[in-house]
Every structure is written in structure tokens, then in C-alpha cells.
Amino acid sequence: MDRYVILGTAGHIDHGKSALVKALTGTDPDRLKEEKERGITIDLGFADLAYPGGLKVGIVDVPGHERLIKNMLAGAGGIDIVLMVIAADEGIMPQSREHLDICNLLKVKRGLIVITKSDLVEEDWIMLVKDEVSKFVQGTFLEGAEMVAVSSKTGHNIDLLKDRIEGLALEVEPKSVHGVFRLPVDRIFTLKGFGTVITGTAISGSISVDKPVEILPKGLRTKVRGLQSHGENLKTAYAGQRVAMNLQGVSKDEVQRGDVITVPDRTRTTYVIDAELDMLGDTSIDPLKTRSLVHFHTGTTELTGRIIIYDRDELKPGDRAYCQFRFKAPIAVMAGDRYIIRKFSPLVTIGGGSILDTIPGRRRKDGLAGDLEILERGSLKEKLSLKIRQRGLSGITQDELIGWIKAEIPEIRTEVNGLIKEGLAISCEGRLIHKDAFDDFTKKAVSAAGAFHKNNPLKPGMTKEELRAVFRGVEQKLFELMLDRIDQIVIEKELLRVKTFRISLSEDKKAIKEKILKVLEQSEFQPPSKDELAGEVSIKPQEAGELLKIMASEKSLVRINDSLYIPTSNYTKMIEGLEKFFSAKSEMTVGEFRDILKTSRKYALPFLEYLDSNKITLRVGEVRKFLKK
């Protein structure tokens, strides 16, 4: 399979970056008329370098002028290798320093140092420049990097540089082709007969022709009409490739640099992120105060945001801290993405770091540092567990987790399944609930049920709705599913009770129960109503109702309706009478049923309604059929 690596140039204006790219590839990356006229790179330029064996190096040529640093940042996000370009006749210049700082903050891991314009100076001078550069890159990712002196004009050492680029490119760890597809847009144009075309570097995942995509942060949905990489038509584009994407039914004005092309319903936009921030050690930079406005760059996105520093009021050069950025406009990022910040004014790079959380929510001050430390340094499993725990009883879906963190989708699924197997998370209706949240739910539910039993010792249990009031923020279905999982609670239809709860009656209440049973046994199939029964045994109707429910739960009585109860022994006689009748006939009228029980129509009707609702008999017109086998 082909391998794709992105190489970026970095260095001061007019140090020969574009001429070097042309010498390496034969492609002039200065594509704008103004760039040709002024002889400088104003916007991003692109070219490619192909090697035998399927290695393809896409080159991003970035502008070096101080005022064009934001364009440089737009190209730096997906870079695997940097060519730090320093002209032999000028040496290290201001943008050499800022470009190196930016690449360092973005955690670029590999690079080469190219001394250009070697044809303009003597060999001794090149040695002096190399000594100067060695000191310049100390403590950065370029410390110890190979230096190659070249001349784009004469071709001196260009082939050697190509070999060195190939060697570094083969060491680059392949980008995640199994992650969520994301492509930060860096260019938009229209082609006659094709419509809108956008370009960018695919930073993760893959996408194919005719597949749906979403343009964030707008949420605009469309379809991929065509794909190209350096002029070659593709069926599928992969992470690490420079990609030109033809979009269906989208105008040029609807897309802009900084937008992100992704698959629908994966990545969510946000106005707030938590991050770790490393300040540059440049002592000429003023301290950064909390609540300051800064320019925030990630991928090809640039926007302003307000920084909230979590544990202090200001950051000095070289400081490191956890912070939060709040934006007025939405941004489409994932935990794990890198970013750079520049001062609001004057425009100068001051720091950068890693995005830790794109859905931070509210954080307890006492647990803030611990949570952010896990998000920065923890394993994928620890990060997923923390995010599930943070969502409490609302839970979170696997799809939300996949769109939250930059990682391989199969790896996320494996870790989530591991959390479920270990009992650290439970899955309810597709939502993941952390064990801590479920344990808290259990504790509150059992406590609420216990308190109910204490206040209502004669009631068999509390209703689900009464308990639901304790958990107002939890969805009904989720509430019931979690309730079913609590071992300490028994659910009987709409009532629930603590498993160990038993109704405990005083001796006088037990005596009243015996009186009630005796009265109902004697009345056979003409039982007194609840209120009439209360009068007969000299208790209040409410107390009679509670005792009748207790006796029904104990199976000594059968509840016909809220007012009528009969002893279980009488109910058995009723069923036996029905069986005997239906052994001889297939249908039964109300009058015949009344005669079987030797009762009146007043009682026969509610008895029949009970039998119908419990599927013992079936009403067909004015007669009943027997269903009980």
C-alpha cells in the first residue's frame, strides 16, 4: 500500500523555500500572480515528491513573512517532517525563530536543516552558518538534525537532500486511517464543469467518492463527487494525503479556510475547550493574564478566544498550565489536537499545546487538576473512563466518544468493551453509564425507598413515579433500565420496594386482618366494599385500604378492583365453578354467571371485568368464552 507523508518548509522570507521546492519536484509552488510579481510566497503552495515503492511526500510551502504567519500556521497542522530553510548569505532571521517555535509547539518530531543559496558564499562561511544553526536549534526537535547545504540554482546536493527526505519519511508513523475522517480546508476554488473544489491535508481516516460528508462548523451536508491527490484521480483518499475534493451542490461562498470536512454525525462543534498550554521561553514576551483575548490557531482554523488560566492569574515565559479557551464562534476539534496561540496585539506567537477536552462541562475545583492530568497523560482507557464518569447519569454514546477524541475507532470500541466487561461502565439503551454514577443512583434509590417504607410501614411499596421525582434529570427509559439493574430493589408492576422490606404489623392490626378475612369469607360473592368493610371492623377507610393491599400482596385476598376484594379461597371456588360450567357449554351469559356464584348483577359485572382483563374469559358480544386451560 502507498505511504503518504507531509513535508513542510519553514524559514524566513526570501530564504529560498519556494525555489528549493521547485528544484526538488519541478513544481513551482508560487501559484498566485502577486506571488510571481513580488517573488515571495503569500499563501500556501503545494507540490509532491514520489519515490519508488509507493512512498509519496506531499510538500507544503509556507510563507515566511511576519505578516503572513497565520498562513504558515494553516499549513503546519498536518506536517510530519519540516525542512528548516536558512539562507547561507543571511543566516538566522526573525521568522526562522518563530517558525521553529511553531513547529516545536506543534510537536513536529522530524526535520532536516537546509542551508540554501550555497552558491553565493564560500565553504568556510557555510561552516560558520552551520555552527550558528547548531546552537539555534539546541533544545528543539531539530537538535542533532542533519544539515544539507544546497543550491537550487546549480542543483548542488539536491539529489542528496531527496535521499535524506526519503530516509526520514520512511521513519514517519502512518497517520490513523481507522480514525474519524477529517480534512481541514486550506483552499477553495471552482472549476468549470465541476463546481466547488476544496483542498487540504487529510489528518485522519479515509473518505470515498459518493460518500456523504459534513462541513463544520456550519453543519452543511453534501456528497463527494470526486477526489484527487496531486492530479491523480482517486476512489478513496486516506490520512496523510494532500486531497482535492469536489463537493456536490455547494457554492464556493459556503466554504472557507478553517472549515473541517468530516463524516456526518461524528465530530461536534464547541465554543469551549480545556487545554494544556506551554508558554514560549522568550523573555521579551509580556506575561499572559487570565481572561486575555488571544488568536487561536488549530489545523487551518484561526479565531479569537478568551483564555481562563485555571490555577493562577498570569503566565510568564516558559510557564506551563491548564487552561480553558472560550470562543464566540464554534470550532470543530477533537481532544488530542495541537494548537498555537498568538498575542492579540502585537501579533506574536507566545505558546501552544494540546486540546484536552472539547466537552468540558463543569469541573469541581478539588478534582480539576486530577481530571486534566488524566486527559493529558492517561491511557486511552483512562481518558474514556473519565469522560463517561463526567457525563453522570446522562451517559454518553460510543459515537460521541469516537467524535470526542483523536484515536483509532476500533481501539476506542475495544477499550469501551473492556470497561463494560470489568464492570466500570454499563450500557443502557446504547448509552454508557459509569459505575460511580450507577452506584450513586443505586444508593439514592435504595435510600429513597427505605425512607418511604419508614414513613409508610403498611404500604407494600412506593410507585416508580414517586422515585422518579428524585431523578428528574434522567430520561424515563434510562431511569427504568437502571432501576431494573438494582439488586437491592424488587419491582412489582408499578410498585417497588427494598428487597429486605416486610410489612410488620402490630398485634391489633393482625387481629383486624383476621376480622376482615372472616367477614369476606362469610359474604362469599357479595363482599362489602372497602368503605363498608371499614365500618364493619371499626377502622378508617384509609387503614382498611392499606390492610387490603397487604393481604392481596400476601395472597390471602384477590383484588377485583380498588373497592372489591375476595378471599383467595372464594376465588378458587369461582374458577372451579366456571370450569364446571364450560365443560358442558361453550358460552356463558351474565345471568348464567350470576347464577353460578349465587350473587347479584351488581357483583357479577365487576367479577367478569376482572376475569376478562386477566384473560380468563373473553367477551364476545353479550356472552363470554372460557380461555383458561
Residue 240's pLDDT is 83
Band of pLDDT at residue 1, cut at 50, 70 and 90:
low
My answer on whether 106 and 56 are in the same domain is yes
Residue 590 to residue 428: CA distance in whole angstroms = 48
Whether 475 is in a domain gets the answer no
Asked if residue 70 has pLDDT above 70, the reply is: no
Q: Which of 122, 83, 66, 65 is nearest to 5 (CA)?
A: 83
My answer on whether 157 and 192 are in the same domain is no
My answer on whether 55 and 141 are in the same domain is yes
Sorted by sequence, the CB contacts under 8 Å of residue 346 that are 6+ apart come out as none
Whether 558 is in a domain gets the answer yes
SS3 308: strand
* pLDDT tens, residue by residue, 160-172: 999 999 999 999 8
Whether 476 is in a domain gets the answer no
* pLDDT tens, residue by residue, 371-406: 999 999 999 999 999 999 999 999 999 999 999 999
Whether 145 is in a domain gets the answer yes
My answer on whether 87 and 67 are in the same domain is yes
My answer on whether 17 and 160 are in the same domain is yes
Q: Model pTM greater than 0.75? A: yes
* pLDDT tens, residue by residue, 423-432: 999 998 889 9
Asked if residue 11 has pLDDT above 90, the reply is: no
Whether 477 is in a domain gets the answer no
Whether 340 is in a domain gets the answer yes
Asked if residue 29 has pLDDT above 70, the reply is: no
Among 199, 227, 262, where does a domain finish? 262
Q: Which domain holds residue 309?
A: 270-365
Among 171, 193, 216, where does a domain finish? 171
**How many domains is the chain built from?**
5
My answer on whether 620 and 599 are in the same domain is yes
pLDDT averaged over the chain?
87
Q: Give me the CATH number covering residue 583.
A: 1.10.10.10
Residue 43's pLDDT is 39
My answer on whether 238 and 299 are in the same domain is no
Residue 436's pLDDT is 95
My answer on whether 311 and 370 are in the same domain is no
Among 430, 450, 485, where does a domain finish? 430
Band of pLDDT at residue 502, cut at 50, 70 and 90:
confident
Whether 83 is in a domain gets the answer yes
* pLDDT tens, residue by residue, 232-261: 888 999 988 888 899 998 999 999 989 999
Residue 366's pLDDT is 57
Residue 66's pLDDT is 42
Mean pLDDT of the 101-120 span: 88
My answer on whether 322 and 234 are in the same domain is no
My answer on whether 216 and 323 are in the same domain is no
Asked if residue 199 has pLDDT above 90, the reply is: no
My answer on whether 238 and 106 are in the same domain is no
Asked if residue 73 has pLDDT above 60, the reply is: no
Phi, psi (deg, nearest 5) at residue 532? -65, -40
Q: Which of 375, 493, 499 is nearest to 449 (CA)?
A: 499
Residue 67's pLDDT is 41
Whether 470 is in a domain gets the answer no
Entry field: residues in the chain: 629
Residue 326's pLDDT is 96
My answer on whether 8 and 144 are in the same domain is yes
| Burial class, 15, CB count within 10 angstroms (exposed 0-12 / middle 13-18 / buried 19+) | buried
Greater pLDDT, 333 or 550: 333
Phi, psi (deg, nearest 5) at residue 481? -65, -40
Mean pLDDT of the 119-135 span: 92
